[in-house]
Amino acid sequence: MERNTQFVGQSSAFLDSVERASRAAPMGRPVLVIGERGTGKELIAERLHQLSKRWAEPLITLNCAALPETLIEAELFGHEQGAFTGATKARAGRFEEADKGTLFLDELATLTMGAQERLLRAVEYGEVTRIGSSRPIKVDVRIVAATNEDLPKLAEEGRFRADLLDRLSFEVITLPPLRVREGDIGVLCDYFGRRMAAELHWDSWPGYTQAAMDALEAYQWPGNVRELRNVIERAVYRWGTWEAPVAHIVFDPFDSPWKPAGMPRADAIPVERPAGASAPVAPSTAYDAVTDLRSAVDGHEKAILESALARNRFNQRQTAKALNLSYDQLRHAMKKHGLSERG
């Protein structure tokens, strides 16, 4: 199977979404796919196409946000020669290219009102008219559209046509974000790690240290699976050896002690720690388990110091600057947590 068509996961939330797509695929009706960035909306569109009766016909993809307003209608519906400046010859639009197949419209909410009106007619009557022509062309196209916007709310505000929304929402598949896919982070980390190790021609896959996995599980993944893939592939590539488990994870590739002053520092979580070091407290539910506030605060402060020292290669003056502390304040904090000799 191709790299970009893999479905990896075992959580019930994820499997329910995939199952819903599988059931809707043979119907041939329009489907809306809703989800945050990186949740796999295009993969669902591919599944809807491949499991339909149209699988042998074209699957045409158009990112509606990637084109300026002046070109989006010409791209969708085509144009005749001389229809506008630069139209030196007639050109078929994406609807005609997708005839008998599937048209996937990504970032649907960015369509202009004019394009929405023409799209409504195409969905309702199965015909499109090229810009500069008065002759409609019959097309047989299944529409799959995706967005991370709240379309019903946009329709209430008059920014999206309610009648178009009615036509496109025969089935609505909402993809769960990675942070609620219980058990899937470990599965995905192993999958992407093994794949990257194979690409690097490693002799075997060493896995991750427990501290690394704790950090990966605790992170909230705003970019979802796409972000996780990048983080894992970067970690494996930078680790550079198959002889020891991967122990260092950098969530923000832009984080650096030499970052220009205008760029705010991010809270990357390096997880390679000296023996016996405390792991950072995980967000949300981890706080519910705290029974000793002073110990928890001390442990978190110690983890922050260890992370900052590792990030700055144990240069104490650079670490103090990164944490907005004086050199003496940093030395005092290190002594408090028994870190003075470790650098």
pLDDT confidence of residue 243: 93
Dihedral angle of Cα 290, 291, 296, 298, to the nearest 10 degrees: 170
CB 49 within 8 A of CB 101: yes
pLDDT confidence of residue 295: 76
pLDDT confidence of residue 273: 42
Of 176, 211, 243, the last residue of a domain is 176
* Structural domain includes residue 342: no
- Do 133 and 8 lie in one domain? The reply is yes
**Phi and psi of 298, rounded to 5°?**
-60, -40
- Do 211 and 133 lie in one domain? The reply is no
Domain count, the chain: 2
* Structural domain includes residue 343: no
Write a three-state SS string for the chain. CCHHHCCCCCCHHHHHHHHHHHHHHHHCCCEEEECCCCCCHHHHHHHHHHCCCCCCCCEEEEEHHHCCHHHHHHHHHCECCCCCCCCCCCECCHHHHCCCCEEEEECHHHCCHHHHHHHHHHHHHCEECCECCCCCEECCCEEEEEECCCHHHHHHCCCCCHHHHHHHCCEEEECCCHHHCCCHHHHHHHHHHHHHHHHCCCCCCCCECHHHHHHHHHCCCCCHHHHHHHHHHHHHHHHCCCCCCECCCCCCCCCCCCCCCCCCCCCCCCCCCCCCCCCCCCCCHHHHCCCCHHHHHHHHHHHHHHHHHHHCCCCHHHHHHHCCCCHHHHHHHHHHCCCCCCC
pLDDT confidence of residue 95: 94
- Do 189 and 253 lie in one domain? The reply is yes
Which CATH number fits the domain that encloses residue 119?
3.40.50.300
Q: Which domain holds residue 148?
A: 3-176
pLDDT confidence of residue 91: 86
- Do 163 and 187 lie in one domain? The reply is no
Of 114, 143, 176, the last residue of a domain is 176
pLDDT confidence of residue 323: 87
Closest residue by Cα to residue 140 from 108, 170, 107, 97: 97
282-291 pLDDT tens trace: 444 445 556 7
* Structural domain includes residue 170: yes
pLDDT confidence of residue 22: 96
- Do 20 and 71 lie in one domain? The reply is yes
**Residue 316 in tokens:** 């104490």
- Do 172 and 205 lie in one domain? The reply is no
Of 176, 210, 231, the last residue of a domain is 176
- Do 275 and 235 lie in one domain? The reply is yes
Which CATH number fits the domain that encloses residue 261?
1.10.8.60
**Residue 59 in tokens:** 């699957």
**Locus of tokens 């605790």:** 218
- Do 128 and 195 lie in one domain? The reply is no
Rounded to whole angstroms, the Cα distance separating 141 from 144 reads 10
* Structural domain includes residue 341: no
pLDDT confidence of residue 90: 86
* Structural domain includes residue 284: yes
* Structural domain includes residue 199: yes
pLDDT confidence of residue 275: 42
- Do 141 and 186 lie in one domain? The reply is no
Residue numbers of the chain with a pLDDT score lower than 70? 1-5, 261-290, 313, 340-343
- Do 53 and 171 lie in one domain? The reply is yes
- Do 97 and 227 lie in one domain? The reply is no
* Structural domain includes residue 226: yes
- Do 213 and 253 lie in one domain? The reply is yes
